[in-house]
Structure 1
């Protein structure tokens, strides 16, 4: 399981580093979405500069996963990113959901390896220092 989690961590880190950089450098051309609601969504994201934050977090989390430092922080950041990615595809672009699902599966594999880091979050009554 440790080898699988390490491979998944590197793959997930590579995916989010590449697509985070792509958000700034636009070296992978994306076709425009067919759904008019998706076009409106992307227009709002671009005009408000929300995309810079979104891609910045992807890049930071991807680099953290590749480095092996602060993996729990990277997983926390990517959890929010994946919710946004999967929600967008589930509601506006279902045919493009496969890469998001792959990233979610990789995230789960890495999370299971680092689940002890998240144990205090699920304590009903955590100790107060």
Structure 2
């Protein structure tokens, strides 16, 4: 189980960290994919509004925490919603599963692997303090 979790942490943390950092530093030469009109319009709005800057900061921070092995549950809390949104973008706007679906599956596997840290979230009658 240790090795499966380690591999999943690298497969989740590395793309988030590297692709998030590339948004600011531009060290990767990636071609721009051809997207459907709705996906292009949505991506344009996210970029021009400045929203993607926040998302990319969350990707870098979440990816770094997951990769480092320190505060992994916090990294998952930061990165999993981003992965789910990437998967929804892939499925509903692009129309085909891609990296987001894989990242989401790996994030859910890691949440399950660290389930003891997430158990209090599912408390039916939580106590204050």
TM-score relative to the length of structure 1: 0.90
How many Å separate the matches in 1 of 2:73 and 2:4?
17
CA distance in 2, matches of 1:57, 1:106: 17
Contact 1:35 1:92 in 2 (8 A): yes
Equivalence for 1:76:
77
Across the two proteins, how many residue pairs are aligned to each other?
A: 128
Paired position in structure 2 for 1:88: 89
C-alpha displacement at 1:32, in angstroms? 4.0
Superposed CA RMSD in Å reads: 1.5
Which runs of no fewer than 5 residues in structure 2 stay unpaired? Answer: none
Q: Residue 8 of structure 1 aligns with which residue?
A: 8
Q: Is the 1:58–1:78 Cα contact (8 Å) retained in structure 2?
A: yes
Partners of 2:29 and 2:56 lie apart in 1 by: 14
> TM-score, normalised to structure 2's length?
0.90
1:65 counterpart residue number = 66
Structure with the larger RCO, 1 or 2 (CA within 8 Å, 6+ apart): 1
Alignment-derived partner of residue 53 in structure 1: 54
With over 3 angstroms needed to count, the CA separation of the structure-2 counterparts of 1:40 and 1:103, relative to structure 1, is same
Match of 2:21 in 1: 21
Stretches of structure 1 lacking an aligned partner (at least 5 in a row): none
C-alpha separation in 1, matches of 2:114 and 2:9: 11
